[in-house]
Structure 1
Amino acid sequence: MSNLVSKYKWILFDADETLFHFDAFSGLKLMFSRFNVEFSLDDFAAYQQINKPLWVDYQNGLINAAHLQHTRFTHWANKLSVTPQHLNSQFLAAMGDICQPLPGARELVDSLSGKVNLGIITNGFTELQSIRLSRTGFQDAFSPVVISEQLGKAKPDVAIFNHAFSLMGEPEKRQVLMVGDNLHSDIIGGINAGIDTCWLNHHGAAVSDDISPSYQVSNLTELQQLLLLS
């Protein structure tokens, strides 16, 4: 019996909360500690009130990456008398310092290497992705690594998927699987691009009626079993 992975020539992954743990609060705490500032949960809540809507606008193509990165730190930049760009860069450096693969990520990547081509399509930012791939030893496992900031288009825009397909040599779409934790950017994006999708549903959330991922798993170990043991 052939396993599911033999159906695909390519598996594309999201990065944040799909391959890598993304603990923004810990990253911000570390970054602000380097400015001798005690960053509290209340501070984080205020930051997220600005940050979260910016991410929605970014995914919807209403703003670019630079606008998002600068606007979310304008308040703190004024407070600390530095530029928003400097704070954003320090934040990404701190996130790089605390980066960890999600449980099961290394085993999954190791088990798939040599059986299927692996790529990344991420709405995350270049400065963090390259540091993280290097520090986790994943940089040789994934090609292409398509980063929305570099392209100027973010998931779910089909343009970022088409760009990836061109770098992949235009594979047959039925041989491509997109894996991600975000129903809007990863799953709708993959569906609109005409490929199979796997929703990494960490928290057991309900699927909305109008979104139908091809597969659903709750963690990366389950994904490994789905691909290699099914």
Structure 2
Amino acid sequence: MKYQWILFDADETLFHFDAFAGLQLMFSRYGVKFEQQDYQQYQTRNLPLWEAYQAGQVNAEQLQQQRFEYWASKLEQHPQQLNDAFLEAMAEICSLLPGAKDLLDALKSKVKMGIITNGFTALQKIRLERTGLSGYFSPLVISEQVGVAKPHKDIFEHAFAQMQQPEKHRVLMVGDNPHSDIQGGINAGIRTCWLNRHGEERPEGIEPHYEVSSLKQLQTLLEAA
């Protein structure tokens, strides 16, 4: 195989990330019926915070707390308590994307695999355990622990150090987010593959080396490489 290492993003690359369903489950435990309009209001706060996090303007703790400030005030809870409850709910509903297990089983004897994620530690580790994938990935690099997020090249350099400084042309980054995963891989000087499951237009100025619409297509691509 052409590549020695495959680095994966986690959310919406290997795992479904249905935030609306997770929030509905979490808020149901506080006696709140969380509707689509509530989710849209939440996202008006959450999405800019994620952009700021990826730009290094806020840290993980600030993101986690500030996105729940409105609901924390309404429910008389601490924002971090709501965030923890949300991550717990997301872990409960976690599932793999179609083709993920087949892909990983096909690759595990041929390449080394790692994860680089901007997600949060509590959710990442429990999902890997519950889906039986804990032994597939090393390193597991989580931005919350490193203190810097994709697309910054420093989180990749942190991973490379754990990978014993591999030849960069033999490392492939796979992810669904062109702005963090693909631009991050480009910033780090490695090859990239955009998992574009929803047929989105390629952002101007971001050029992945490969583009696939499913993990099955990725498997076919890698087996031919």
The answer to whether the 8 A contact 2:50-2:63 is kept is yes
Instruction: Give the counterpart letter for 1:19 in structure 2.
Output: L
The answer for the alignment partner of 1:199 in structure 2 is 194
Among residues 208, 213, 219, which one is paired with 1:218 in the alignment?
A: 213
Among residues 159, 167, 171, which one is paired with 1:164 in the alignment?
A: 159
Q: Deviations over 1:11-36 (max 9, x none)?
A: 00000000000000000000001111
Instruction: Give the counterpart letter for 1:163 in structure 2.
Output: H
- In 1, distance between residues paired with 2:40 and 2:120? 22
- In 2, distance between residues paired with 1:206 and 1:71? 31
The answer for the alignment partner of 1:3 in structure 2 is none
Shift of 1:209: 3.8
SS at match of 2:136: coil
Q: Deviations over 1:189-223 (max 9, x none)?
A: 00110000000011111213411100000010110
Is residue 154 of structure 1 aligned with residue 124 of structure 2?
Answer: no
Is residue 83 of structure 1 aligned with residue 78 of structure 2?
Answer: yes
Shift of 1:229: 3.5
The answer for the alignment partner of 2:184 in structure 1 is 189
Q: Deviations over 1:158-187 (max 9, x none)?
A: 000000000000000011000000001000
SS at match of 2:128: helix
SS at match of 2:134: coil
The answer to whether the 8 A contact 2:54-2:180 is kept is yes
Q: Which runs of 5+ in 2 are unaligned?
A: none
* Paired residue total: 225
The answer for the alignment partner of 2:65 in structure 1 is 70
When normalised by structure 2's length, the TM-score is: 0.99
List 4+ stretches of structure 1 deviating above 2 A.
none
Q: RMSD of aligned C-alpha atoms? A: 0.7
- In 1, distance between residues paired with 2:97 and 2:10? 10
Among residues 6, 12, 30, which one is paired with 1:11 in the alignment?
A: 6
The answer to whether the 8 A contact 2:178-2:203 is kept is no
Percent of aligned pairs with the same amino acid:
61
Moved more, 198-207 or 24-33: 198-207
- In 2, distance between residues paired with 1:27 and 1:10? 32
Among residues 19, 23, 29, which one is paired with 2:18 in the alignment?
A: 23
The answer for the alignment partner of 1:137 in structure 2 is 132
Q: Deviations over 1:101-157 (max 9, x none)?
A: 000000000000110000000000001001100000010000000000001100000
Q: Which runs of 5+ in 1 are unaligned?
A: 1-5
SS at match of 1:19: coil
